[in-house]
Structure 1
Amino acid sequence: MIDWLFDFLYPPRCPGCGQAVHASGEWCRDCYEAVAEIREITGCPGRFVQHVWTLSHYDKGMKQLLHDVKFNKKKERSRGAAPFLHSFYYATATWQWLPDYVIPIPVSEKKRELRGYNQVDILFKPYMSRFRQRDLGKWHWLEALVKVDSTRPMWGLTKRERQLNTKGAFLPIAAVKRSHILNGKSVLLLDDIYTTGATVSEAAEVLAAMGADSVNVLTLASGR
């Protein structure tokens, strides 16, 4: 009912070109095919990340969608992630590896207050429960990390500057660390964009120290 009313009040448009589509979050075929590609990024950062997968190219409609969600407070545009996550959902049907826990990269409290949300949460969380329904005992959503406020914005930084900027940027949530819930478990670390890998590398190191047996990464988009 709520989704129907939202679509009635705000007729759905393709996130790429703006033309009318049937439902909120849907893309026209041309715009979707222009950016969609499930692929593994080679050259994993650091020694604690096994694999990095991304679902689209950080370009055209996807670039504008993520910019609107992160910087223009257009939370509703996060629905445009749905087709990419549906494709990933079907791709995992043949996987031999599935995560016990999915853990979002957090934002600092300052950014959360400014935006009103963590963009990674709203992009991924609505769909993870569907994954869990298919594979019982897997895909548990877990907030396990906190982001230190002292880091600089990442845009415009070189690869080396990004590595230095993210050093010590994440801390374990104390209650999660004390619970030892990640001991021997497989983790899928979620982020919106993959650039140099500095962010996920630093977060993965903290998760490994919390006992995670393996850490893989999934991002909605990447410029690589």
Structure 2
Amino acid sequence: MNDYCLVCDNHLKRELTWTSFIFPTIHSPICSICEAKLQLITGERCRICSRSLATLNKKFVQADVCLDCVRWEQDPHWNHCLKQNISLYHYNEFLKEIMALFKFRGDYILAEIFAQSLSRQLKKLSFDLIMAIPLSDERLKERGFNQAEALARMAGRETKAYLKRIHTEKQSKKTRDERLKQKQIFQFQGNSAEIKGKNIVLIDDIYTTGVTLRQAAQVLQQAGAKEIQAITLARG
């Protein structure tokens, strides 16, 4: 058991009682101060992308769907490929700092911070397979691990690798328009009979424009998957 906060390195105070000794509980790997800086998405959210509707002007919302998702669903090339994305946290400055350490500085252990929340959310969904959004071979070599796969593994879940990613410029360096116009970056690999008619959950770190998840979902749908949902840590 780690006795120090994974973010600020302060000592974690654990109260040991006879009850906790006999019935061990799973403790958060970060301190209460850091825990409070993580903002769970609560209240009304877009039914498709998890965007908080409380922050939007009513003219940018139709029923329980934001206008971005309305446009996606009105596009015959993309409609119905992604049933929903469930994001857990707001992408605030604190989470940005954690993700920078996790993704770009290789602190794999930070995935443990989100294990319990991700595990709880997965238990609420009905699905057959879990797939982590892959990195290209070049990016995987650069980072040393796939952050989406790390999240799933820390949550105690096995992932299937039916998607291969084509190497492109980092998403973080692209503008919104560039992301929306990017060509298909995924290819299906493996036996399509193994996913035919299956319900799939995609795992990724951040939902920004929704392009990456929809491209992945589209490839899986074309290979025979029935329904694709996604869980992401944050809604950017």
TM-score (structure 2 length as normaliser) = 0.73
Judge conservation of contact 1:103–1:187 (CA < 8 Å) in 2.
yes
Write the letter of the residue equivalent to 1:37: I
Partner secondary structure for residue 172 of structure 2? coil
Shift of 1:212: 0.8
Unaligned regions of 5+ residues in structure 1, if any? 130-139
SS at match of 1:141: coil
| 1:183 to partner: Cα distance | 1.0
Contact 2:87 2:232 in 1 (8 A): yes
- The answer to whether the aligner puts 1:170 opposite 2:203 as a matched pair is no
1:13 aligns to 2:5 (yes or no): yes
Report how far residue 82 of structure 1 moved: 1.9
Q: Give the fraction of aligned pairs with identical amino acids, expressed as a percent.
A: 26
In the aligned structure 2, how far is the partner of 1:98 from the partner of 1:128? 16
Range 212-221 or range 57-66, more displaced: 57-66
Any idea what SS the aligned residue of 1:37 has?
A: coil
Q: Deviations over 1:60-111 (max 9, x none)?
A: 3322221111111111222111232244256x1xxxx501111110000011
DSSP-derived class of the 1:55 partner: strand
1:74 counterpart = 2:65:
no
Structure 1 position 147 matched with structure 2 position 165: yes
- Secondary structure of the residue aligned to 1:56 is strand
What's the CA shift for 1:24?
8.3
Cα distance, 1:185 vs structure 2: 1.1
Q: Spell out structure 1 runs of 4+ moving beyond 6 A.
A: none
1:1-224 paired onto structure 2 within 5 Å: 4=1, 7=2, 11-15=3-7, 17-21=8-12, 22=14, 26-34=29-37, 35-37=39-41, 40-41=50-51, 42-43=65-66, 44=69, 45=72, 46-47=78-79, 48-89=81-122, 92=124, 98-129=126-157, 141-149=159-167, 151-165=168-182, 167-173=183-189, 175-177=190-192, 180-223=193-236
Measured after TM superposition, the shift of residue 30 of structure 1 is 4.4
Is the 8 Å Cα contact of residues 26 and 83 (structure 1) preserved in structure 2?
no
One-letter amino acid matched to 1:163: L
1:158: Cα distance to partner? Answer: 2.6
Distance (whole Å) between structure 1 residues aligned to residue 154 and residue 6 of structure 2: 20
Question: Any conservation in 1 of the 2:4–2:30 contact (CA below 8 Å)?
Answer: no
Q: Does structure 1 conserve the Cα–Cα contact (< 8 Å) formed by 2:6 and 2:110?
A: no
Give SS of 2:138's match.
Answer: helix
CA 1:61–1:187 in structure 2 vs 1: closer, same or farther (change >3 Å)? same
Does the aligned pair in 1 maintain the 2:201–2:231 contact within 8 Å? yes
The whole-number CA distance in structure 2 between the counterparts of 1:155 and 1:207 is: 24
Structure 2 SS opposite 1:155: helix
User: Bigger CA drift: 205-214 or 34-43?
Assistant: 34-43
Shift of 1:128: 4.2
